[in-house]
Amino acid sequence: MAGTAAVVLTLGVVGLGGAILAGPTIIGTTATESLRRAGLADATVTVTRMRVADGWRGLLLEFAGDSGPLETAAKALDLPVAGRLGLTGAIVIGMEGGTVTITSADPPSGLSTVPSTACLSAKTERLVVSGQHLDLPQGGTVCPVQETPLLRWSPNGNGMAVAAELRIPRIDLQESALRAEQVALRLDQDGAARRAAGTVARLTSMAKPAPVVPLAVTLRAAQSGEGPWTIDGGAEGANGLLDVTLVGSYDQTGGIGRLEAVTKAIRLAENGPGLAAISPLAATFFEKASGTLSGKATLALTDKGFTTAGQAVVKGLAGAAGPVVVTGVNGTVALSSLSPPVIPVGQKLSIGLLDVGIPLTDGTLLFGYGRDGRLDVDRAEWRWAGGTLRADPFELSPEKPKGSITLHADGIDAAKLLELIAVDGLEASGTLAGSLPVVLAGDKVTLHGGVLESSGPGTLRYDPAQPPSGLKGEEGSPTAMLMGALTDFRYDTLRITIDGQAGGELSAGFSLRGSNPSFYDGYPVVLNLKLSGALDRILRQNLDVYRIPDTLRDRLTGSDQKDH
């Protein structure tokens, strides 16, 4: 054994001596040729200084390496890369029992006794990976893992072992509008087994407003032989409110990869920060949000580059989109792109309540959202006042809604409609249909020129237990006449006009033709009323709009009798 050690030591000394005698130029040329044979056709390695490392640990080389244009190498290596890579620093090439080791050292002297503290400097130029431009404004470093050599190679069949950590202060991904800060990627290879572990202290979307808040990301990957890499990890943000599990794979032979991010349920408190806590972009569309959210996002790598997709699940979501208030939103929505967000047409949500100036319940919405930032609604139906309300297809910008939406009403229950006015003693029966144009302008939603008409006869009654003082007119007065007619009015036709603004009062106009059997022998009359507030004020302001035939009015007021 001692003889063998002596032989190895002698060979090592001879090898070091031969390398020193050969000179830096020859070593640099040899390294260059090795890289070019490996596929980097334009690579160059220049050795600027060479000497025996402190403590006779090996041969210390100070060098500068340049990959050359990676477009040429990409074909040979079958990698979707372009640009240029550079690596500079100092390494120690040593021998350990017949095994060759490469360890980084502290340039320029190489006298450090703790080589694990030294790193190699890396820089990039116009780097593109799978169509994604990567900008490293502060470069990066390649560092050893603890005191392990960067590379260990044994000629006895154990193969090559690699242990290194790539540290990058910042990466800007231009196409994805992402910035990754304090990136650390650790690579380990032992024979045919490979492992990688990466962390990103802060992954930030540079879009304004951002689709998601900054995240801390952790990834792990492993490969056995020539098989695909398996990937897992997680991401966290918003002080733990956003918790994401990451799972994926990457086949380096085909250049195909996939990473899926699945979020745990996010519960937004009713009086909390809302969507702004997790998505500033979503908060611009939907304020004061509460409910439960979950979903997943997918990042795929193909020969055509990166693509993104996702799915969002909402349960019991409530909030406000400008002046429109919604509650009880449930459904699953697919996204064909995350940046920019694109929702294909035909996505479905159920909506418990939509208040656009009138309360709409039990809604169904089929919609999409395009790259132009416009919401495309193909179908929108709700229950309202015992009937249904259906919208014509429409488009609008959620950020700045402007335009008109026409709602078609059918099977509206007159009794339930009047419940919206909530006037004591006011009742009706019958079925109505018509249209309700809704106008959106900035932060205002207005119901303008809505018309509902009866499909047959019905009743309208106003007979409160305690009539307001303004309706207690003297017998024969217009007020008393109107009150008498309305106690049991049987209409043949009823037409209602509705106007109002979200957050304000409704204004309803009634036009009726019919009679009251107990009101002057059921004499037919026409009544036109406008209701825009409490009924006593309404009637005082609008008595002039109802019409009673002149002969009947004379009889009611006694003006047909001559003075004696």
Q: Are 384 and 406 in contact (CB under 8 A)?
A: no
State the chain's mean pLDDT as an integer.
82
Pairing between strand 305-321 and 324-335?
antiparallel
d(CA 6, CA 491): 119
Phi, psi of 307, deg, nearest 5: -130, 155
In sequence order, the β-bridge partners of residue 293 are 266, 314
d(CA 377, CA 392): 9
In sequence order, the β-bridge partners of residue 178 are 173, 205
Q: Which residues, other chains included, contact 495 with Cβ-Cβ below 8 Å and sequence gap of 6+?
A: 451, 452, 453, 454, 510, 511, 512
**14 C-beta neighbours (distance < 10 Å), count:** 10
| Cis peptide bond N-terminal to 137, omega within 30 | no
Residue type, 4: T
Confidence (pLDDT) at 31? 83
d(CA 340, CA 360): 31
Mean pLDDT, to the nearest integer, of 451-464?
90
Task: For 530-544, give the DSSP string.
Answer: EESS-HHHHHHHHGG
Q: Are 235 and 60 in contact (CB under 8 A)?
A: no
Res 158 pLDDT > 70: no
Please write the tens of the pLDDT for every residue from 50-91: 888 877 778 888 999 999 999 887 777 777 789 999 999 998
d(CA 159, CA 139): 31
Which of 193-197, 248-252, 422-426, 428-432 is most confident? 428-432
Count helices and strands in the chain by DSSP H and E runs: 8, 32
Q: Are 462 and 425 in contact (CB under 8 A)?
A: yes
Phi, psi of 27, deg, nearest 5: -65, -45
Please write the tens of the pLDDT for every residue from 245-293: 999 999 977 889 999 999 999 999 988 888 999 999 888 888 889 999 9
Tokens describing residue 439: 């106008």
Res 231 pLDDT > 90: yes
Q: Which residues, other chains included, contact 365 with Cβ-Cβ below 8 Å and sequence gap of 6+?
A: 348, 349, 350, 351, 377, 379, 380
In sequence order, the β-bridge partners of residue 482 are none
Q: What is the pTM of this model?
A: 0.67
d(CA 26, CA 3): 32
d(CA 76, CA 35): 12
Residue type, 82: A
d(CA 88, CA 340): 39
Q: What is the separation of C-alpha 235 from the centre of its chain, rounded to a whole number of angstroms?
A: 16
Res. 124 pLDDT band, cuts 50 70 90: very high
Tokens describing residue 103: 């360890």
Res. 462 pLDDT band, cuts 50 70 90: confident
Res. 378 pLDDT band, cuts 50 70 90: very high
Torsion of CA 333, 328, 364, 409, to 10 degrees: -150
Please write the tens of the pLDDT for every residue from 342-377: 999 999 999 999 887 668 899 999 999 998 888 899
d(CA 392, CA 375): 14
d(CA 414, CA 463): 17
Between 375 and 480, the higher pLDDT residue: 375
User: Where are the chain's structural domains?
Assistant: 1-168, 381-564
Q: Report DSSP state, residue 547.
A: B
Confidence (pLDDT) at 557? 38
Which of 159-163, 313-317, 536-540 is most confident? 313-317
Q: Are 377 and 393 in contact (CB under 8 A)?
A: yes
Q: Are 124 and 137 in contact (CB under 8 A)?
A: no
Res. 44 pLDDT band, cuts 50 70 90: very high
Res. 558 pLDDT band, cuts 50 70 90: very low
Mean pLDDT, to the nearest integer, of 223-238?
92
Res. 244 pLDDT band, cuts 50 70 90: very high
Q: Please say whether the dihedral angle defined by the alpha carbons of residues 475, 476, 481 and 485, taken in this order, is positive or negative.
A: positive
d(CA 293, CA 301): 27
